[in-house]
Amino acid sequence: MTLFDGVYPFYLQQRKVSVFDISTIVVIVVFLTFACSFLLIIPGIRGRVRLYWTLRVLFSLVMGVVIVTVQFTGDWETGWVRANTSYKSFSTALVSVDIGLHVGLAGVNISLRGNPVNQVNETINYNEHFAWSFDSDYDQSYSQGLERGLPSPILYVAEKFTTRSPCSMQRQYRISSHYASATLWVAFCTWLISNMLFSMPVLVYGGYMLLVTGAFMIFSLLSFSTVRNSPLCLIQFGTAILHTGYGGSFWLTLAIGLLCFVAGISVVTLHYCNLDLLKTLFDLHEDKAEECQEMAEAHVNPHFANGELSPSQPSKLHPNII
């Protein structure tokens, strides 16, 4: 890496916007594999029990995939702004661009899209990720961005999250994101325990674990939303200000958390109010029927079966029997 008149060289190659993170794709593929495997065995389940099994398994898989996937998504908090700003350092050329900020639990994504895309003889379409997880160094990622000659708007936004910035935005977002991620992993563990309990005849405890799962998901949202309680620096491009709001992952986590509450309360309520219906939904009546059928196959004394002896007549011992 060399300098030209004290300015880092600017790379002209196009940087494409990343749509999915590789970890997100892996998680989705794994859960889709489980779902497809279950769909293959559905024809072997008879009667209306097939519908109950399908609803329970698909509902559980949706909860699990959301809990794990939102750990790697980058749209917990998002914002866009359109502005006319400089494109390179030490250059007076202005470009019309859309600047996006996408905050996730593991870092921040900064997007830069030209309007139109081709301006100043270049293609303006960038998406850069700066991680702040425990095994990553945000300041080093920012320094690498400087060396690679990223556009000025991206560097300006990324600088707000450095440890040297007076805004202290990285410390606020990083701490809240770490706690949110930790509580989500606990929610994933309680989700696994609830599935184990539902596979045994202790349905009410499975309902309690669903309530715990929903509670930890809500705790993760509360942890992430504490950032709003601290004053944040303005990200301003001329007269345009970049405002952010809760993104899709935040609202999806809230929806699944509330769904866990509804499912858990329903299971607990049915356990105390209508236990037969709950056992029907979880296919426990057939097990009782099989047990009764096995108990019916008992050995009966042939003397009582043929009516040779009656309770009113005392039995007489035959001398040959003695």
DSSP 114-164: EEEEEETTEEEEEEEEEE-STT--HHHHHHHHHHTT--HHHHHHHHTTSTT
- Tell me the per-residue pLDDT of 234-256, one tens digit each, with 9 for 90 and over: 888 888 888 889 999 999 999 99
Which DSSP string do the residues of 47-103 spell out, in sequence order?
A: TTHHHHHHHHHHHHHHHHHHHHHTTT-S-SEEEEEEEEEESSTT---EEEEEEEEEE
Q: How confident is the model at residue 20 (pLDDT cuts 50, 70, 90)?
A: low
The model's pTM is: 0.78
Average pLDDT, the chain: 80
Does the pLDDT of residue 312 top 70, yes or no?
Answer: no
The pLDDT assigned to 293 comes to: 43
Q: How confident is the model at residue 230 (pLDDT cuts 50, 70, 90)?
A: low
Amino acid (one-letter) located at 82:
R
Q: Where are the domains of the chain?
A: 77-167
The pLDDT assigned to 48 comes to: 76
Does the pLDDT of residue 189 top 60, yes or no?
Answer: yes
Which DSSP string do the residues of 264-312 spell out, in sequence order?
A: HHHHHHHHHH-HHHHHHHTT-HHHHHHHHHHHHS----HHHHTT-S-TT
- Tell me the per-residue pLDDT of 23-72, one tens digit each, with 9 for 90 and over: 778 888 888 888 888 888 877 777 777 788 888 888 999 999 999 999 98
**Among 122, 64, 125, 118, which Cα is nearest to 100's?**
125
